[in-house]
């Protein structure tokens, strides 16, 4: 399937809709009808219609699709190619449960008013496992309403200053306190003193809608739009780009990881399609950023002006599968947890919605299968940032590292970034005028501003590891590292630390943990007996995937005069986090032999 772009109604109408603040609405996606076929049906969407590779009768489904004048469009590409690719990604002996079957996902294009009915009727087809309608993917327009005051928290609605920019842009780095030493910032300036510490050798793809890659502070290490067709609304993406990869120079701002290669993927196609396409352009250790959220089940999946109840997109099965695909390739996916003020531990998120597959489980529950994404919440900046003790629109008092009132929270959140007062490129409230290539802001906000801070920190760590010839962080290792280091979350009135958004990254701690001096560690893992002429197989599991482990097997039965055993080691990547070693031992002598299997951990 070609990656055919689609246009949203707001972009194709020729009009720019506005919200109650008078500002243009940011771009948003369309509702999406997703269909999941039963694996045993082995459906194939062809130019001639629908077929079954397993030979089952699909005439009823074909007739329904023809009558309704719709088609099943493979969400991730040709089904046979996807199955072949999945086989090559599987480790010997691994379970197929570890890999999402992307070949069963389809997308149906139809007018919005038909989607719910079509989903219901598709679910009655015997070859269909699930069919559901996803709310539009959106950027942050507002946060959740303040419960007491019932006033919307306006996010990212900054107007450009009328005054024209000066002949040379001042240096605003002093306003980027998130670059400073912990606990105020993430200590990016320390990382910059180390080889690779500015993210050298790391590729990042930001998934949203629009960017201004001609901005004066985004001239270096910019890869442009590599997936989809960008929107003309560029402020949000430009602000994200500046946070992560703003140029290292004497003007404007500096990104957290300015040596990383920053590219973009535009949601002019279904979100899961874009995520998978972005993953295919990256290598293990690279990073995808998801700057979107959706209306969750709290209000019946209905969008609200204040975005209360919006959640991270991994909750939907097709997005979960796309993220898991990326994680299985070793790509770190960083996902905004959402601005819905939601407790993601609430039982509502374990209730399977109509149309979801029977095998679905709540991904926000870490006891269930995981997609591997790093989930990011939003925390307050230090009090006094930019001279402010509280948020000017809402009156929210800044208690450093306390949960922002709009941020989702829960046990699944891995880390936090600044949710207010981020200085970066775009918008124009800090430096404005008529040329948007010179615009800067002091007030980028939301889980939208928090997530790029975590991306930047991870890129710095990856760059340091690459410069030292070390294995880059895996997705699971990245999550563990963010949870085991950092400046702790703090409490604010009405927002205790039990409303988890995690720690603020601390690069000095993160780098020390991953490059610390390693003393080789050796030992005996197991002992056994192998009869004469026989082969016995043992397995040993839950070895961290980032460890360098060597194995040797030696006989403990003394019998001089010739070889006694030979052995073979096979490796299973059981999960992103853990390795299983399968050790086959053959007794080549004419008498039984005792053995012991010895390991040597050379580094981690």
| pLDDT tens digit sequence for 286-298 | 999 999 999 999 9
Query: Do 269 and 304 fall into the same domain?
Result: yes
* Count of CB atoms situated within 10 Å of the CB of 1: 15
Point out the domain boundary residue: 486, 515, 544: 515
pLDDT at 565 over 90: yes
Q: What is the mean pLDDT of residues 431-453?
A: 96
| 308 domain residue, yes or no | yes
Return the pLDDT at 157. Answer: 82
Return d(Cα 482, Cα 385) in angstroms, integer. 24
Mean pLDDT of 374-393: 93
Confirm whether 220 is domain-assigned.
yes
pLDDT at 452 over 50: yes
What is the three-state SS of 145-172? CCCCCCCCCECCCCCCCCCCCCCCCCEC
Per-residue burial over 390-428, b if 16 or more Cβ lie within 10 Å, else e, is: ebebbebebbbbbbbbbbbbbebbbbbbbbbbbbbbbbb
Q: Is the pLDDT of residue 21 over 80?
A: no
State the SS3 of 274-327.
HHHHHHCCCCCCCEEEECCEEECHHHCCCCCCCCCCEECHHHCHHHHHHHHHHH
Residues 469 and 526 in one domain: no
Shared-domain flag, residues 343 and 200: yes
CA dihedral 393, 394, 398, 400 (to 10 degrees): -100
Looking at 515, 550, 584, the residue that finishes a domain is: 515
Residue 215 lies inside a defined structural domain of this protein = yes
Do 123 and 252 fall into the same domain? Answer: no
Tell me which range, 17-21, 516-520, 537-541, is most confidently predicted by mean pLDDT.
537-541
- Do 357 and 460 belong to one domain? yes
Q: Is the pLDDT of residue 589 over 80?
A: yes
- pLDDT value at residue 99: 75
**Per-residue model confidence (pLDDT) at position 29:** 84
User: Is the pLDDT confidence value at 20 over 50?
Assistant: no
Give the model confidence (pLDDT) of 184-213 as tens digits: 999 999 999 999 999 999 999 999 999 999
Burial 21-32 (b: 16+ CB within 10 A, else e): eeeebbbbbbeb
Give the total number of structural domains in the chain.
3
pLDDT at 98: 60
Mean local confidence (pLDDT), 236-264: 97
Token pair 């990604």 is found at: 89
Confidence class for position 604, pLDDT limits 50, 70, 90: low
Domain membership of residue 77 (yes or no) is yes
**Average pLDDT score over the chain:** 90
Range of the domain at 295: 182-515
Strand partners, 552: 598
Is there a single domain that holds both residue 284 and residue 391?
yes
What are residue 381's phi and psi, to 5 degrees? -75, 170
Which of these ranges, 37-51, 138-152, 292-306, 408-422, has the smallest mean pLDDT?
Answer: 138-152
Q: How far apart are CA 64 and CA 162, in angstroms?
A: 57
Asked whether residue 535 falls in the same domain as residue 433, the answer is: no
Q: Evaluate whether residue 354 is within a structural domain.
A: yes
Locate tokens 């329904």: which residue?
A: 64
pLDDT for 137 = 93
Residue 16 — very low, low, confident or very high, per pLDDT cuts 50/70/90?
Answer: very low
Does residue 122 or residue 11 have the better pLDDT?
122
Give the residues across from 581 on adjacent strands. Answer: 540, 571
CA–chain centroid gap for 540, Å, is 30
| Percentage of the residues of the chain whose pLDDT score is greater than 70 | 91
In a domain, 560, yes or no: yes
Tokens 């009869």, residue located: 531
Token pair in block for residue 511: 């780098």
* Phi, psi torsion values for 10, nearest 5 degrees: -70, -25
Where among 454, 481, 515 does a domain terminate?
A: 515
Q: How confident is the model at residue 24 (pLDDT cuts 50, 70, 90)?
A: low
**Both 318 and 398 in a single domain?**
yes
142: phi > 0 → left, psi -120 to 50 → alpha, else beta; which?
beta
Q: How confident is the model at residue 602 (pLDDT cuts 50, 70, 90)?
A: confident
User: Concatenated DSSP letters for 495-511?
Assistant: B-TTS---BBP-HHHHH
Judge whether residue 155 has pLDDT over 90. Answer: no
The reply to whether 506 and 525 lie within a common domain is no
**488 and 359 together in one domain:** yes
Domain CATH code at residue 589 = 2.60.120
User: How many angstroms separate the first and last alpha carbons of the chain?
Assistant: 41
pLDDT digits (tens, 9 = 90+) for 61-115: 999 999 999 999 999 999 999 988 877 765 443 344 467 899 999 999 999 999 9
pTM for this entry = 0.86
Instruction: Confirm if 433 and 414 have CB atoms less than 8 A apart.
Output: no
Among candidate residues 210, 223, 248, 160, the one with its CA nearest the CA of residue 443: 160
Question: What CATH number did the domain enclosing 315 receive?
Answer: 3.40.50.200
- Residue 453 has φ and ψ, to the nearest 5°, of -65, -40
Kindly state the DSSP code that residue 459 receives in the 8-state scheme: H
- Mean per-residue pLDDT for 584-597? 95
User: Are 509 and 584 members of one domain?
Assistant: no
Closest by CA to 291, choosing from 137, 135, 144, is 137
Q: Is residue 21 part of a domain?
A: no
Lowest mean pLDDT among 134-138, 265-269, 344-348, 540-544: 540-544
3-class DSSP state for residue 525?
Answer: strand
**pLDDT given for residue 94 in this prediction:** 39
Residue 27 inside a domain? The answer is no
Residues 211 and 243 in one domain: yes
């Amino acid at each position: 399937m070609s990656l055919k772009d689609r246009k949203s109604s707001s972009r194709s109408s020729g009009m720019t809709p506005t919200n109650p603040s008078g500002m243009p609405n940011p771009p948003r996606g369309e509702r999406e009808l997703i269909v999941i076929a039963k694996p045993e049906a082995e459906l194939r969407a062809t130019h001639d219609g629908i077929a079954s590779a397993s030979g089952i009768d699909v005439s009823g489904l074909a007739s329904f699709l023809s009558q309704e004048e719709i088609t099943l469009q493979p969400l991730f590409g040709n089904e046979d190619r996807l199955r072949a690719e999945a086989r090559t990604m599987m480790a010997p002996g691994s379970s197929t449960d570890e890999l999402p079957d992307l070949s069963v996902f389809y997308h149906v294009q139809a007018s919005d008013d038909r989607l719910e009915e079509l989903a219901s009727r598709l679910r009655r087809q015997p070859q269909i496992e699930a069919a559901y309608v996803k709310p539009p993917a959106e950027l942050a327009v507002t946060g959740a309403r303040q419960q007491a005051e019932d006033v919307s928290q306006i996010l990212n609605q900054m107007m450009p200053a009328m005054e024209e920019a000066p002949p040379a842009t001042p240096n605003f780095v002093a306003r980027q306190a998130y670059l400073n030493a912990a606990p105020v910032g993430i200590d990016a300036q320390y990382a910059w003193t180390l080889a690779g510490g500015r993210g050298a050798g790391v590729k990042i793809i930001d998934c949203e809608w629009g960017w201004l890659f001609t901005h004066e502070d985004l001239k270096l290490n910019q890869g442009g739009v590599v997936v989809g067709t960008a929107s003309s609304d560029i402020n949000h993406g430009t602000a994200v780009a500046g946070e992560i990869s703003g140029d290292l120079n004497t003007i404007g701002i500096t990104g957290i990881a300015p040596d990383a290669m920053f590219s973009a993927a535009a949601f002019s196609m279904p979100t899961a399609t874009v995520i998978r396409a972005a993953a295919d352009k990256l290598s293990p250790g690279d990073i995808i950023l998801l700057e979107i959220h959706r209306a969750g089940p709290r209000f019946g999946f209905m969008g609200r002006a204040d975005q209360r109840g919006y959640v991270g997109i991994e909750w939907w099965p097709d997005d979960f599968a796309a993220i898991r695909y990326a994680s299985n390739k070793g790509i770190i996916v960083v996902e905004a947890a959402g601005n819905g003020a939601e407790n993601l531990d609430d039982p509502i998120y374990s209730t399977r919605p109509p149309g979801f597959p029977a095998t679905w489980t709540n991904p926000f529950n870490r006891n269930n299968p995981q997609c591997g994404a790093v989930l990011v919440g939003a925390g307050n900046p230090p009090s006094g940032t930019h001279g402010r003790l509280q948020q000017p629109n809402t009156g929210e008092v800044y208690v450093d590292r306390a949960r922002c009132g709009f941020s989702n929270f829960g046990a699944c959140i891995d880390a936090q970034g600044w949710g207010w007062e981020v200085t970066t490129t775009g918008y124009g409230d800090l430096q404005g005028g008529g040329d948007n290539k010179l615009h800067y802001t002091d007030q980028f906000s939301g889980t939208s501003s928090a997530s790029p801070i975590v991306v930047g920190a991870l890129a710095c760590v990856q760059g340091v590891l690459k410069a030292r010839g070390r294995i880059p962080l895996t997705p699971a290792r990245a999550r563990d590292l963010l949870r085991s280091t950092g400046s702790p979350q703090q409490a604010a009135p009405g927002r205790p630390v039990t409303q988890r958004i995690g720690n603020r990254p601390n690069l000095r701690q993160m780098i020390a943990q991953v490059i610390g001096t390693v003393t080789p560690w050796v030992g005996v893992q197991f002992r056994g007996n192998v009869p004469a002429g026989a082969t016995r197989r043992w397995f040993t599991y839950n070895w961290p995937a980032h460890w360098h482990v060597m194995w040797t097997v030696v006989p403990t039965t003394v019998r001089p005069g010739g070889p006694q055993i030979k052995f073979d080691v096979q490796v299973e990547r059981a999960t992103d986090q853990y390795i299983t070693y399968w050790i086959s031992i053959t007794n080549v002598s004419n008498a039984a032999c005792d053995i012991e299997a010895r390991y040597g951990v050379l580094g981690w």
